């Protein structure tokens, strides 16, 4: 009997740590995926919230998305988030909700138009309510400074949450290339750095950004560089006093200071703001080595040897994508790859928006150079000689990395 009582007490204790809140921020597929991978979130489930008729379904919600009826209040697409408040706070989740989407658009999110896409926070505790209101007021000031209008987010107590149909749950896990637009404004809250949070070396290569409170160039670097970084060399931000067991040779006299570290030891550093182009060139030297073929291709507009080793590795990969070796951005898709028998990787096209094309008149030739949009690295050239009169993107393999389709992180 005592054993049963102990188990019951432990169960009650475990669930006492959990809270529930519902967020509506446009299409629930992407919102669910965002929060279900959040550390401290126990579960994230898609559904319908904020309406006044019984038993909503996807078909009903779509039917009433433009209703003018005074009697019908339609539901919005929401995500029920259950979280452990000892691992993640309601304030952290609510702040993340504001930054996740555009809360000023009324009955829409981007191209998704209808009252079922309206923004909303549906709280379950008075503390959540107060946090939602106070962070809304704080975020409104930041949005106003950035030129955005008034927040239209619905904030009310959760009445009833209806689970969405089974095929909507974990939709983007089942459909990795499914619809998942990014409606974020890019406006962010100022970071709250906990004084007792220390970071220690991860081992291997990593980049640590030293920032400080009220540092405008730190915020600019975060906005322009680190917030969009997806590379496989870890990048972290910390206050100087929170570093533990690092061997730093640079005297940190200003912020941001960008530390390039290997096995806990500083390799080199840069103090002051770095624009995107300069950061990725420094990262290129750190990751690739300044004497490497890949660095020569990326920054000195070199060319891989025909039928080089990396080409042989990449020419017959499984289904997937090729990413920028430095930023991690997706550049090319195996679905667009073909064998041109040229000795270089060939694609019919680049991923939309990932590259820039520029006229190249060097060596007495008239060509079109292909450049990675984010990092500015040289990728190759594009020619009009592919089968069917299509374009051929002739790309150097040494500046790419391959990611299998089922390993892609959205």
Catalytic (active-site) positions = 27
Give the 3-state DSSP-derived string for the chain, with helices as H, strands as E and coil as C: CHHHHHHHHHHHHHHHCEEEEEEECCCHHHHHHHHHCCCCEEEEEEEEECCCCCCCCHHHHHHCCCCCCCCCCCCEEEEEEEEECCCCCHHHHHHHHHHHCCCCCCCEECCEECHHHCCEEEECCHHHHHHHHHHHHHHHHHHHHCCCCCCCCEEEECCCEEECCHHHCCHHHHCCCCCCCCCCCCCCCCCCCCCCCCECCCCCEEEEEEECCCCHHHHHHHHHCHHHCCCCCCEEEEEHHHECCCECCCCCCCCCEEEEEECCEEEEEEECCCCHHHHHHHHHHHHHCCCCHHHHHHHHCCCCCCCCHHHHHHCCCCCEEEEECCCCCEEEEHHHEECCCCCCEEECCCCCCCEEEEEECHHHCCEEEEEECCCCCEEEEEEEEEHHHEEEEEECHHHEEEEEHHHCCC
């Amino acid at each position: 009997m005592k054993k049963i009582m102990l188990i019951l007490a432990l169960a009650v204790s475990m669930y006492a740590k959990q809270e529930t809140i519902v967020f509506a921020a446009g299409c629930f597929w992407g919102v669910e995926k965002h929060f279900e991978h959040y550390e401290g979130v126990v579960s994230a489930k898609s559904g319908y919230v904020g309406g006044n008729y019984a038993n909503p379904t996807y078909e009903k919600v779509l039917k009433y998305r433009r209703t003018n009826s005074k009697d019908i209040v339609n539901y919005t697409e929401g995500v029920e988030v259950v979280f452990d408040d000892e691992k993640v706070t309601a304030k952290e989740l609510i702040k993340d909700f504001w930054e996740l989407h555009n809360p000023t658009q009324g009955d829409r999110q981007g191209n998704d138009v209808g009252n079922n896409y309206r923004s909303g926070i549906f709280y379950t505790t008075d503390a959540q309510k107060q946090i939602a209101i106070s962070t809304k007021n704080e975020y409104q000031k930041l949005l106003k400074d950035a030129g955005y209008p008034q927040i239209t987010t619905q904030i009310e107590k959760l009445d009833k949450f209806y689970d969405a149909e089974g095929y909507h749950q974990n939709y983007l896990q089942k459909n990795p290339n499914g619809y998942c637009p990014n409606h974020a404004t890019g406006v962010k809250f100022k970071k709250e750095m906990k004084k007792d949070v220390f970071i220690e070396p991860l081992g291997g290569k990593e980049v640590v950004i030293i920032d400080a409170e009220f540092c405008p160039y730190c915020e600019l670097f975060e906005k322009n560089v680190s917030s969009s970084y997806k590379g496989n060399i870890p990048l972290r931000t910390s206050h100087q006093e929170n570093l533990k067991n690092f061997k730093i040779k640079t005297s940190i006299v200003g912020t941001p200071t960008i530390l390039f570290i290997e096995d806990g030891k500083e390799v080199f550093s840069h103090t002051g703001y770095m624009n995107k182009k300069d950061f990725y060139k420094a990262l290129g030297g750190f990751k690739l080595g300044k004497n490497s073929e890949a660095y020569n291709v990326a920054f000195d507009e070199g060319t891989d040897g025909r039928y080089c080793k990396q080409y042989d590795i990449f020419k017959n990969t499984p289904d997937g994508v090729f990413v920028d070796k430095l930023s991690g951005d997706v550049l090319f898709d195996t679905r667009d790859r073909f064998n041109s028998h040229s000795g270089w990787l060939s694609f019919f096209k680049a991923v939309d928006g990932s590259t820039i094309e520029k006229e190249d008149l060097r060596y007495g030739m008239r060509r079109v150079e292909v450049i990675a949009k984010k990092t500015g690295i040289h990728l190759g050239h594009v020619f009009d000689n592919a089968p069917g009169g299509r374009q051929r993107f002739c790309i150097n393999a040494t500046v790419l990395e391959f990611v299998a389709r089922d390993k892609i992180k959205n």
